Amino acid sequence: MTGPHTTFQEWSAQPRIERVPLSHVSIELGHLYREDFAGGIELLRRHFREIKPWVAAARDRAAALAGPGRRPRISTCFLIDDYFSAFSTPDEVIGRLVEAAGDNGLTIDYVAREAGCAEAGPVRPAELVLDRLVNEPPPGTDGLKPPAAASGWVTNGDRPPGSSAQPAMARRPAWQPPTENAKSLHSIYLAVEIFSRKPEGRQWSCPFLAAVWQLLRLGMLRDNGRPVAAPQPAGERLPATWESMPAVLRLNPDAQPFSAYRTLSVLARQFQNIEAAVGVVLGQVAVDEEVHQQVRIRAEEEGVVLPEGLVQRISYVFDGDSNRVP
């Protein structure tokens, strides 16, 4: 038996966890896909016209969150899908969005690329989140479920015994229902595919990229202590291609911080299942403890009541059907 081994390392060698500025609320004004853009600017105008009352209500709620006598910090953002189906160019797409929002009295402070949730310059946010996924073992099990990085799946419970392949001559077990780990009276079992395998590598799923997006908006991701996908100013001219555009672009030079204590997403009802899956993913992400404490302490200093769990800091409005063209 060998004696205890001690490793000494200078404190200066530890990466410093940088802070990010925080608004009180980040309001997501929607997602844009190829089909939405194909509907023309009138379709975009209709979208912003329909969500305008919800944005006004969110601003009132943010004022209550900030507390009496304090001006709430509110930022707005919009997510564009260039991961699954890149289309047109940033100047044309963003130009139409800004015009349609402005026609309805709304300002888009930040615009983001969905592909930026997968790769933001030299950093791969999706990989960072994958490395922080911790499987939640169902009660009464030994926790031997394959890790998410191997299986490509996360669940909020245990699937039934008959759901996996059985040897040809094996005795068929009695059917048992899937169960939710933290059920309330009855189970709502969810299984989320977070990536599929392609010849060129992993293709991330929409729910997983949406979970990364929420973590960015909550200011919870760091790479060697540095903030991930920090917003970049738009400058005088927009990038010519999606690939040359930063993950998050600040359109409004006077905007409040991109990340926030809480987020609100105003989306069509078609996104409801995706966002339920986001909750399953985020419920199994082990956020860096120092980052978590940074945000908690800042909230306390500002008198902001902040839920302990990340999922509880996220709110949604699902309003009507998709705005897409038939």
**pLDDT confidence bin for 137, thresholds 50/70/90:** low
Confidence check: pLDDT of 265 > 50: yes
Confidence check: pLDDT of 326 > 50: no
More confident residue, 180 or 12: 180
Calculate mean pLDDT across residues 135-142. Answer: 60
**pLDDT confidence bin for 142, thresholds 50/70/90:** low
Calculate mean pLDDT across residues 221-244. Answer: 94
Length of the chain: 326
Copy the structure tokens of residue 55.
């944005």
Which segments of the chain does DSSP mark as H helices, in order? 34-38, 41-66, 90-102, 125-131, 148-151, 206-217, 272-282, 289-301
What confidence score (pLDDT) does residue 158 get?
75
What confidence score (pLDDT) does residue 166 get?
53
What confidence score (pLDDT) does residue 147 get?
86
What confidence score (pLDDT) does residue 140 get?
56
**pLDDT confidence bin for 325, thresholds 50/70/90:** very low
What confidence score (pLDDT) does residue 69 get?
82
Report the DSSP pairing between strands 201-204 and 195-198: antiparallel
**pLDDT confidence bin for 173, thresholds 50/70/90:** low
What confidence score (pLDDT) does residue 321 get?
61
Calculate mean pLDDT across residues 299-314. Answer: 94
183-198 pLDDT, tens digit per residue, is 777 878 889 999 999 9
What confidence score (pLDDT) does residue 179 get?
72
Place of tokens 């970049």: 232
More confident residue, 1 or 251: 251
118-136 pLDDT, tens digit per residue, is 999 999 999 999 999 987 6
DSSP letter at 192 equals: E
CB 201 within 8 A of CB 124: no
78-104 pLDDT, tens digit per residue, is 999 999 988 999 999 999 999 999 999
Among 227, 249, 248, residue whose Cα is nearest residue 294 = 227
- Per the prediction, the chain carries an average pLDDT of 87
**pLDDT confidence bin for 66, thresholds 50/70/90:** confident
- Flag the least confident range among 74-83, 113-122, 156-165, 177-186: 156-165
What confidence score (pLDDT) does residue 9 get?
46
Calculate mean pLDDT across residues 138-143. Answer: 55
Sign of CA dihedral 201, 207, 210, 214: negative
Quote the percentage of the chain above a pLDDT of 70: 84
What confidence score (pLDDT) does residue 4 get?
47
Domain range list for the chain: 17-115+206-268+290-318
Calculate mean pLDDT across residues 260-285. Answer: 95
Report the DSSP pairing between strands 314-318 and 179-180: unpaired
Quote the percentage of the chain above a pLDDT of 90: 67
Q: What SS3 state is found at 290?
A: helix
Report the b/e string of 10-36 with b at 16+ CB within 10 A.
eeeeeeebeebebbbbbbbbbbbbbbb
Confidence check: pLDDT of 53 > 50: yes
More confident residue, 321 or 74: 74
Confidence check: pLDDT of 143 > 60: no
